[in-house]
Amino acid sequence: MAAEVIQQLLNWLVLGSIYALLAIGFSLLFGVINVIHFSHGDVSLIGPFVALAIVPALGSAFGPGGSVSALLMSMLAAIFIIGILGVVIERIVIRPLRDAPAMMPLVATVALGIFLREAIRRFYPQGSNPQAFSMPFSAPAFSLGEVAVSWFSVIVLATTATLLAGLFFFLKKTPMGVRIRAVSQDREAARLMGVRSNRVFQSSFFIASASGAIAGLFYAGNVGATRFDFGILAGLMGFSAAVVGGLGSIFGAVVGGLLIAGAEVLAQALVPDGAAYRQVFAFMMVIVFLLFRPEGLLGKVVVEKV
């Protein structure tokens, strides 16, 4: 019994971290472009595909025995490439619609999500089939009671904590972070103060997409496979986490991620046949949350001025 509880607790923490990483991207981009970037999930889940594509090339370079370092290198490359992809998306799709009514970029990003999914499905070799994606760190690191904790879980938790702390520091202390916050508070006023908003947009998209790619790699590693359409659900879960926690708050992303993951894990553990309904429970919780606290747990209530 105790072992099972610890196991579920571990599942919960890992899933919560992944959602938190996705949520932070939604939050960051929402702050800057004031629109939910609906294809963020799809962008993130391209990460594992890119990594898988690079691995064979690097594997031969590292020779036998270097498979772990090859995988690591390819994952780092994938994170960078997805970051660049985010910048490209900003340039091609988001920037032309910057001054349009909010509905336009919303629909554009939904369409972009379809485009990205279909691109993977059609142009990636065997893209319509699930691709096995195993992280190299499945070996147990230590054991808690009877539960062996894998290196993968440790790495997910440690990476998420480090990244979020780093992001917090970046946004509060570095010049670019200050600019990003300035633009998300008032784009026009920031521009008048000499902030080049284009650079801010680009760097926000790079950071959000790159951290999304990390989440995507973890997501695929957690499932053990990746598929062209994983992005929809992963994106929705990350978005839900951002909303429940409060858009625009890093701690909110963590809390939201843990809450959403908690609903899923609980549904799976307690309800008979719960695995089929896990998203139902998570989304029910989102709806209830929005009913009673529309601004999210840690979000600020926005006072509207006429």
Partner 1 sequence: MTMANQSARLGPGRATALVVALETGLAIWLYLFLMLESWPLLLALLVLGVGALLYMQRHQAAERAIIDSFAQCKVLSMVWMSVLVLVFPFLLQGNTYVLHLLVISQLYAVLALALNFQLGSANIPNFATGASYGIGAYTSALLALHWGISFWWCLLASAMVATLFGFLLGIPCMRTRNSYLALVTIAFGIVLQQLINNFSWTGGPNGLVGIPAPTLFDHSFADPIVVFGHSLPSQVNFYLLAFALIVVSVIVARLLHNSRVGLAWNALRTDELAASAQGINVTWYKMLAFAVDAFMAAFAGTIYASYVTYISPDNFTFLVSVTIMTMVIVGGMDNVLGVILGAFLLTVLPEKFRIFSDYRLLIYAAVVILMLIVRPQGLIPKQLRRYKG
Binding site for partner 1 (CB under 8 A): 30, 35-36, 93, 96-97, 100-104, 106-108, 110-112, 114-115, 118-119, 122, 232, 236, 239-240, 243, 273, 276-277, 279-280, 283-284, 286-288, 290-291, 294, 304, 306
Q: 188 vs 273, which CB is nearer to partner 1?
A: 273
Considering the complex, what minimum distance in angstroms separates the CB of residue 108 from partner 1?
5
Q: 30 vs 49, which CB is nearer to partner 1?
A: 30
Q: 60 vs 129, which CB is nearer to partner 1?
A: 129
Do the Cβ atoms of 211 and 170 come closer than 8 Å?
A: no
Q: 164 vs 242, which CB is nearer to partner 1?
A: 242
Considering the complex, what minimum distance in angstroms separates the CB of residue 177 from partner 1?
23
60 to 48, 70, 72, 74, 76: CA distances (angstroms): 19, 9, 14, 12, 17
Considering the complex, what minimum distance in angstroms separates the CB of residue 174 from partner 1?
27
Considering the complex, what minimum distance in angstroms separates the CB of residue 282 from partner 1?
9
Residue 296's nearest CA partner among 219, 240, 238, 233 is: 240
* DSSP strands (E only) in 120-254: 131-132, 140-144, 147-150, 225-226
In angstroms and rounded to an integer, the radius of gyration of the C-alpha atoms of the chain is 19
Considering the complex, what minimum distance in angstroms separates the CB of residue 293 from partner 1?
9
Q: 15 vs 58, which CB is nearer to partner 1?
A: 15
Phi, psi of 49, rounded to the nearest 5 degrees = -65, -45
Q: 2 vs 288, which CB is nearer to partner 1?
A: 288
Q: What share of the chain is helix, strand, coil (3-state, %, to 5)?
A: 75, 5, 20
Characterize the bridge pairing of strands 225-226 and 131-132: antiparallel
Considering the complex, what minimum distance in angstroms separates the CB of residue 33 from partner 1?
11
Neighbours of 300 (CB within 10 A): 11
